[in-house]
Every structure is written in structure tokens, then in C-alpha cells.
């Protein structure tokens, strides 16, 4: 078959291929005798092709390594080749017949001048520097967006969650974050990662609910080339490989099929991964944070979640509270969400007291995600710069009465005292038009004490303070 193809190659095409000036090459047989040399090599070797062919390659260059290539049968790529004062970057490749016997070797030009390699290396270094810069900028953006300080709230449940997050960040043990949809589970996961020793590498997120079940294993553990029909010919690393020296966040972990839970448990315990279709075990270094909005204990009783995996993940248990349990935090959270809205929103300057009371009284089944959506819609309607009751959805306006009723959850005394203190400080600032020295005098405390309380209640930002003062001016 090969002879058929060779016979059908036009001689001029074969000659053009071999005598390509951009790939000048010298061909020797198994004894090192030159059988072909490109025309562009005549200047380099200082000999004509007619004189070179039939002579041993060592006659052309006593330091030639092609005889060594014939002996070892090993290819050498990107080697420096010197003849007198001239240098080239070449490849030396042994040639074999169908039975594997060495029948010759070829010396092939890669670069005319080593300076080209230096320029290529310089370009790679520039690209690497840019990549490092962009990675640092991206990490900085994540730090500012998902830091623990960026989690708004002073209520007891929020403070408890923050405390657990700080404890978990100081270790390398698994963390299980449990909470309803929209309570900020992913934000807490990012905050733990950013506080940990692994912060220099990006956290790898896996949304278990979004991966088709038949692709779970290949996504998590990766696969070798040709491992299954449709697999990439290059293979693919799994999420655990990508999380090397970093953190892997398994969001909606309760959606993992039970058979895969056993494999996940083994990977977490042994820190070893084997790709689909592979025979090599990869030893990895990663940290696991898992999250779910489902009741895992109920799933345990039904056999839908493995007990051993649950207890392995549940080293640190962090609960993200729903908004209905932290109502005292809703005013500050609402203003915080307004401050994060895109520039194309014409942001209102304040939320009217009547509208704020409705926001605080509503149960928020969608939690922070729902609150953000409501504020976005209300902002688009608030043309005069103030969100009013009429701008809120009907289900919120028709919610519980303004004053707490018998069915309203009882807040802790600590939460009520914190809210009362915030109200008093904001009221004093509104009466003094933001003069903190005068406000401290009205409150009967030292100015330093007022500054500490402003910071504790998140009222130290000028813009945030102005919004909250405007709100409490009418309370």
C-alpha cells in the first residue's frame, strides 16, 4: 500500500518537500552516509550537495551527533547545533522501517538563529506575566466581593455563622454548609477559601444539580483519551485535578447519585483520583467544601445519602440563616444590595419607612436572592429617588401587619437591643445633620465610643450612613 502512495507522488512535489528552505534537512543512512542534503545547507556546511552526498556525515562536521542518534535510536528535539561560528536549533530524528529497524536519521532545522528562541522565550515570559497579573486582579475582585467582611448582618445567627467560617478557614478539614436557597451558601464558601492558606489559587466550583447524571464521574474525576464514545482525543482533567492545592466547592451535594457518593467518599479520604479509562492513580492535595439546601438527615433515613459521606463532610457544620430569622438585618442588607446594583439602575436615595416595614415583615421564601430581585424592580419604578410602598409587589404589601403580631417570630433580646441602638444612633445623626461630635453629645457618650458603635453596626461608611439616616429620619 505504501509503495502505491509513493509511486503516485510527483517527483517535483517530493523534491519541493525535501528542499523546503524553511525546513532544511540532511538525511543519512544507517551507516551515517549522507544521502540527501537541502540546497540551503550548502552555505552552512560550506560544501555543495553534489560533493556532500556519498560522504560520511562526520566528514562534513566532525562534531555531528547524527551517528549517536543512529546508535541510541532516541530523538532529540530543540538541540543547539554548532559548526564553526554558526549555530542552529535542530531536531535529530531516527528513521525506522516497518519492523522497527533503524535505517537512517534526519537532521532537521527548527530555527535558523538561537536568538529566535530567546525572543520566543521573552514573548512567553510576557504572556506569563500578563496571566499572573490578571489572576491577581481576579483574585482581588473575588476577595472584595466574597470576603467575610462583605457578608452583611449583625444578628446572632449571622455572627455565629461568621465565627464558624473563621474556625473552618484556619483548618484544612471538610466543611458542610446547610441553608435554604438564596441564603448565601456560596458566598460563605468563597469567604472560607479566601481566609484559608489556599487563597492564592482559585476555588473550583461544581454545581452538582446542573451536571447530567451520566457525566458526573467524568466531570469530577476526568478521563483519558478515547475512554468512551464522544470523549475528547486529548482527554480531560476532572474538577478534583483542577482543585490541586486549592478548594473544591461541591454545591448542591445532595444531588449526587448514591453510587457516585461512594467514589466521592474514597477520593476525599484517600486524596487519590483515577481518571476514567486510566490506570494511573493521581495523588492530589485539595480541600472540600460542600453545600446543600436539602435536609440531609431526612435523606439519610430514606437511604438517599450515605451516612459515611455525611459524617465525612460534616466536620464543620455551618448554617446560613433565612431572612425571616434575621429580620433586624434586613434594613442594612437592603441598602447594601442597592449599593451593589449595576450602574444602569437609577438608584433611589432611600427606602421610605413604610416600605421598609413591609420588607422587614415579609417572610422571604427566596431569601436574599428574592430581596435583591424585589429591590431591582422597585428601583426601576422609583423615579423620584425613594422606594415607596406602592413600588413593592402585591404579596409584600399584603403581608403581615405593620406591628408584630402574635404569630411573628420572637427576636432575641440581643437583636432587639442592637436594632434599638442603631435606631438611636441614626436618629441622633439625623438631628445633627451627620455631625458626629454633636450626635455623641445628644446620646450622652464619648465621640470615640460613637465611632466604635458606628463601625460595629456598619454605619461608618459615609454613603451607607446617609441612606440609613434618611431612613430613620422618618421612623
The sign of the CA dihedral 112, 118, 119, 124 is positive
What is the C-alpha to C-alpha distance for residues 103 and 70, in angstroms, rounded to an integer? 8
What is the C-alpha to C-alpha distance for residues 144 and 194, in angstroms, rounded to an integer? 10
3-state secondary structure of 193: helix
436-443 helix and 447-456 helix, angle to the nearest 10 degrees? 100
In 211-267, beta strands by DSSP E: 222-223, 236-237, 246-251
Query: What are the structural domains of the chain?
Result: 2-112 (3.30.450.20), 147-321 (3.40.50.300), 325-472 (no CATH)
**Secondary structure element (H or E) that encloses residue 399, with its range:** none
Instruction: Select from 181, 233, 242 the least CA-distant residue to 206.
Output: 242
What is the C-alpha to C-alpha distance for residues 327 and 317, in angstroms, rounded to an integer? 23
Instruction: Select from 193, 138, 132 the least CA-distant residue to 165.
Output: 193
What is the C-alpha to C-alpha distance for residues 45 and 440, in angstroms, rounded to an integer? 91
Instruction: For the chain, 475 residues long, give each residue's pLDDT as a single digit of tens.
Output: 455 556 677 777 777 777 776 677 889 999 999 999 888 788 778 889 889 999 999 998 888 889 999 999 998 887 777 665 666 777 899 999 888 899 999 988 776 555 565 566 566 666 666 666 566 655 655 554 567 777 888 899 999 999 999 999 999 999 999 999 999 999 999 999 999 999 888 888 998 888 887 788 888 888 888 777 776 777 888 889 888 899 999 999 999 888 889 999 999 999 998 888 887 888 899 999 999 999 999 999 999 999 999 999 999 999 999 999 999 999 999 998 888 887 655 567 789 999 999 999 999 989 999 999 999 899 888 888 889 999 999 889 886 544 454 444 555 667 667 777 777 787 677 667 677 887 787 777 888 888 888 877 766 654 444 444 454 444 4
Instruction: Select from 213, 318, 198 the least CA-distant residue to 248.
Output: 198
Amino acid at each position: 500500500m505504501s509503495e502505491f502512495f509513493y509511486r503516485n507522488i510527483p517527483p517535483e512535489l517530493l523534491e519541493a518537500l525535501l528542499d523546503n528552505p524553511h525546513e532544511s534537512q540532511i538525511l543519512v543512512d544507517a551507516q551515517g552516509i549522507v544521502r540527501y542534503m537541502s540546497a540551503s545547507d550548502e552555505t552552512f556546511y560550506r560544501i555543495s550537495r553534489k560533493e556532500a552526498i556519498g560522504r560520511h556525515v562526520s566528514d562534513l562536521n566532525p562534531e555531528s551527533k547524527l551517528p549517536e542518534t543512529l546508535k541510541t535510536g532516541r530523538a532529540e528535539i530543540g538541540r543547539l547545533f554548532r559548526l564553526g561560528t554558526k549555530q542552529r536549533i535542530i531536531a535529530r530524528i531516527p528513521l525506522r522501517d516497518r519492523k522497527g529497524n533503524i535505517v537512517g536519521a534526519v537532521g532537521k532545522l527548527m530555527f535558523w538563529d538561537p536568538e529566535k528562541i530567546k525572543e520566543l522565550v521573552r514573548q512567553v515570559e510576557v504572556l506569563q506575566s500578563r496571566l499572573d497579573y490578571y489572576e491577581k486582579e481576579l483574585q482581588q475582585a473575588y476577595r472584595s466581593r466574597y470576603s467575610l467582611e462583605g457578608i452583611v448582618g449583625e444578628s446572632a445567627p449571622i455572627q455565629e455563622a461568621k465565627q464558624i467560617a473563621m474556625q473552618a478557614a484556619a483548618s484544612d478539614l471538610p466543611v458542610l454548609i446547610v441553608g435554604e436557597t438564596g441564603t448565601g451558601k456560596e458566598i460563605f464558601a468563597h469567604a472560607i477559601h479566601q481566609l484559608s492558606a489556599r487563597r492564592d489559587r482559585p476555588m473550583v466550583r461544581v454545581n452538582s444539580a446542573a451536571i447530567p447524571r451520566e457525566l458526573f464521574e467524568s466531570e469530577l474525576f476526568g478521563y483519558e483519551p478515547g475512554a468512551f464514545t464522544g470523549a475528547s482525543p486529548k482527554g480531560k482533567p476532572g474538577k478534583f485535578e483542577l482543585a490541586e492545592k486549592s478548594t473544591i466547592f461541591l454545591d448542591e451535594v445532595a444531588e449526587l447519585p448514591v453510587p457516585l457518593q461512594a467514589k466521592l467518599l474514597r477520593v476525599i479520604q484517600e486524596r487519590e483520583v483515577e481518571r476514567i479509562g486510566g490506570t494511573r492513580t493521581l495523588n492530589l492535595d485539595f480541600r472540600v467544601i460542600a453545600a446543600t439546601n436539602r435536609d440531609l438527615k431526612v435523606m439519610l433515613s430514606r437511604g438517599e445519602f450515605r451516612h459515611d459521606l455525611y459524617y465525612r463532610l460534616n466536620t464543620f457544620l455551618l448554617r446560613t440563616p433565612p431572612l425571616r430569622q434575621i429580620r433586624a438585618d434586613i434594613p442594612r442588607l437592603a441598602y447594601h444590595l442597592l449599593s451593589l446594583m449595576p450602574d444602569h439602575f437609577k438608584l433611589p436615595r432611600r427606602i421610605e419607612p413604610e416600605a421598609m416595614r413591609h420588607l422587614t415583615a415579609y417572610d422571604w421564601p427566596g431569601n436574599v436572592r428574592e430581596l435583591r430581585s424585589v429591590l431591582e424592580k422597585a428601583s426601576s419604578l422609583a423615579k423620584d429617588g425613594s422606594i415607596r410602598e406602592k413600588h413593592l409587589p402585591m404579596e409584600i404589601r399584603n403581608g403581615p401587619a405593620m406591628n408584630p403580631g402574635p404569630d411573628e417570630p420572637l427576636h432575641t433580646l440581643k437583636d432587639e437591643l442592637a436594632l434599638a441602638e442603631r435606631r438611636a444612633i441614626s436618629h441622633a445623626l439625623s438631628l445633627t445633620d451627620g455631625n458626629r461630635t454633636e450626635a455623641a453629645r445628644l446620646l450622652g457618650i464619648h465621640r470615640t465610643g460613637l465611632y466604635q458603635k458606628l463601625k460595629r453596626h456598619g454605619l461608618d461608611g459615609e454613603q451607607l450612613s446617609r441612606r440609613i439616616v434618611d431612613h430613620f429620619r422618618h421612623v
